[in-house]
Structure formats: structure tokens, C-alpha cells
Structure 1
């Protein structure tokens, strides 16, 4: 079966991961999370093969050369993220649709590649200031990494109109309810 792709993209801190987790809990029989590959180190309680496929930069570059990625990007200097073709095919073989929690440029690459079989949703935070506040509140990044994320986020906010839908995340419960409707309507077509 070739299923559909539901792509949630946003700057770091906009709430896309929270919304995607809500949807996975709500529709476990319909959608499955696409696990991205990355060269970054594990954080906190992350698990290889559940949160990400953590691989070395050398292996990542080898897989690029073998054309194993449907999309990839050097998101931060020296840190790569990408979607393995085998991951999408694995999920489709279970009879489910694929849901992504992916950065903005990766989301747009997937939309271009899969066209009408993909729904690209941009999660819009209330403002850049609120986004910065959320990123600082996480306490997971050094000041230098935080500044890098903030610069990237302000650039990414300008890409919102390139997505199929802008989902405003000003109030989380409302954003989750709206996301449920968007996803159900799309996968039911």
C-alpha cells in the first residue's frame, strides 16, 4: 500500500512535537511516526530507533551517496537530519499513513517530492518572542546553540505561506483539535 504523508513543520519550540504526540495517541491505528536519522548526540531519555536513528556523520554521508534518503539537510553546522526511504516504506507496509515532525526545509522537500499524497502543515507560534521564551525555558541548549536556534527560527517563520495549511498554536488544546480534523480529513480522501 502507498499511504499518505502528514508533515508537521515549524521552528524549534513552536509545539509541533507536542501536537504530533497528541495525534499519535489519538489515532494509533491510522498513523505512525517517521523516525528521522541524525548525526547529533542523544539528549536526555531519547532512545535510538524510537526518537531518532542516531548514526555517525560518516554513515550518514555514506547513506546519502547510496541515495537512501528521500530528504536530508545539514540543519545546524555539522549536524545532519534526514528521512530514510526505508522508514516510509516500513510504515506503509503496516497499512498506516506516515506522520512527520520535521524542520521547515525538510517538510518542504517532502511536500515537493510527494505532492498531493502529502499534507504539509506549518505550526505557527503566537510570536517570535514566545518562541524564544519557550526555547530558553527548555534549558537544554548552550547560549551559543540557543542563538543559532533563534536565528534559524526567525528565518523559518517566513516560510509559513509555502505550506498547505498554517496551524496556529496559540492555545494548545485548540491547536490539537484543529490538527485532528486536518489529519482525519486528509487521510480519509
Structure 2
């Protein structure tokens, strides 16, 4: 029975495991569509328009916002980022779910725009010391950058109660299983299966013919 696609928001402080969980979820279900953001920053070597980002001029980006073509947008370090509405709407019609890797501010904008079609999930670390350990184990950032990420984490974690679900990622495999359970349950909700009414009418017709 065909259903309308969901918008799945996955948020967390940096280092809590959000990106790894998103990757695992998409490997588990290849029908999931990842929301590709639009940005005004220049492409980096190896990046391709429409794959990593939709690269747009500031004028084109502003025009998209003005036309209501963005589900959410924000300015980060002098560049604009946002989630185009068109690809998401097309996926919903096809019955495909779209996964968003965005922060709480972007999540609030998407929920305001799309209402009950949104499922929001926040991923917490088991402890702050473990969060810092994970950031340092990447070996990618300087002490200054890590300190900045840790400072930002406190503000991000303060918004945990605004989400539909909260996972504590102490064990990655268990967190992955919990994430899949959430998605399967949300897909099965009665109000997400519009063809159920016709199916039940068919059952009733069978009763009347007995």
C-alpha cells in the first residue's frame, strides 16, 4: 500500500555519531533519499554540483528563499545554506523518505513548513568526556576547533526536548537498531497510509458478498 514519504530530521552535537548513523540507515534502506543542501560557498576540489551541494550564487539563493523554495536556510560563517523544497516534495509523492542532517534551528524551520510529515530525532553522547574523546580521535581538528565544537555542543544539547525521539549513542549498534525501530514504527502509523481506507472498504465488500 503506497504511503506518503516522511521527512526524517537527525540532529546531534558534533561527535555524537549522527553522520555514522545516517550512513548506516541509508545502507540499510537504499530507498532513503538524502537531502542535498544548497549553498553560496564555492565548490571545493572534487565536489560536484547536485552531489555534495547545489552550488548557487548569493543572488540565486536569495531568489529561491523569496520564492518559498527553501524548507529551511541559515547563514554560517558568511555563506548561506538551505534545503531546497522541490526534491523533497517529489520524494514524498513517490513514497520515499528524505533524511536531513541539520541542526535544531533548521529542524524547527522544516517542522514549521511540513508539520506532521516530519519525524525529528536527536542523538546524545553518553557523556561530555566521551564526546570530546570522539572529536579528538578523528585527528582532523586543532585544539582550538575542538574547543569551539565543545562550546557549541552545550547549546545544541539544550534543545533535546524539542525532538520527537532522543537516542543516547553509547553503543553504535544499539543506537542503529533503535533508529531503525523508530523509522519502521513511524512508517506504519495509520495516518501515513492513505490507501488503508480503500483497503478496508474492500474487506467490507467481501463481508457483504458472503
The two structures have a TM-score, normalised by structure 1, of 0.85
Instruction: Give the Cα–Cα distance (whole angstroms) in 1 for the partners of residues 170 and 44 of structure 2.
Output: 27
Shift of 1:25: 1.2
Highest CA radius of gyration, 1 or 2?
2
Instruction: Give the Cα–Cα distance (whole angstroms) in 2 for the partners of residues 36 and 148 of structure 1.
Output: 23
* Contact 1:97-1:187 within 8 A present in 2 as well: no
Shift of 1:116: 2.0
Q: Which runs of 5+ in 1 are unaligned?
A: none
Classify the secondary structure of the residue corresponding to 2:9: strand
Instruction: Give the Cα–Cα distance (whole angstroms) in 1 for the partners of residues 33 and 119 of structure 2.
Output: 15
Deviates more, 1:166-175 or 1:5-14: 5-14
Instruction: Give the Cα–Cα distance (whole angstroms) in 2 for the partners of residues 141 and 58 of structure 1.
Output: 33
* Contact 1:8-1:120 within 8 A present in 2 as well: yes
Aligned partner of 2:151 in structure 1 is: 151
Residues 79 and 140 (structure 1), Cα distance of their counterparts in 2 relative to 1, 3 Å cut? farther
Shift of 1:23: 1.1
Instruction: Give the Cα–Cα distance (whole angstroms) in 2 for the partners of residues 115 and 174 of structure 1.
Output: 29
* Contact 2:4-2:94 within 8 A present in 1 as well: no
Alignment of 1:63-78 (within 5 A): 63-74=64-75, 76-78=76-78
CA RMSD of aligned residues (A): 2.4
Aligned partner of 1:110 in structure 2 is: 110
Aligned partner of 1:133 in structure 2 is: 133
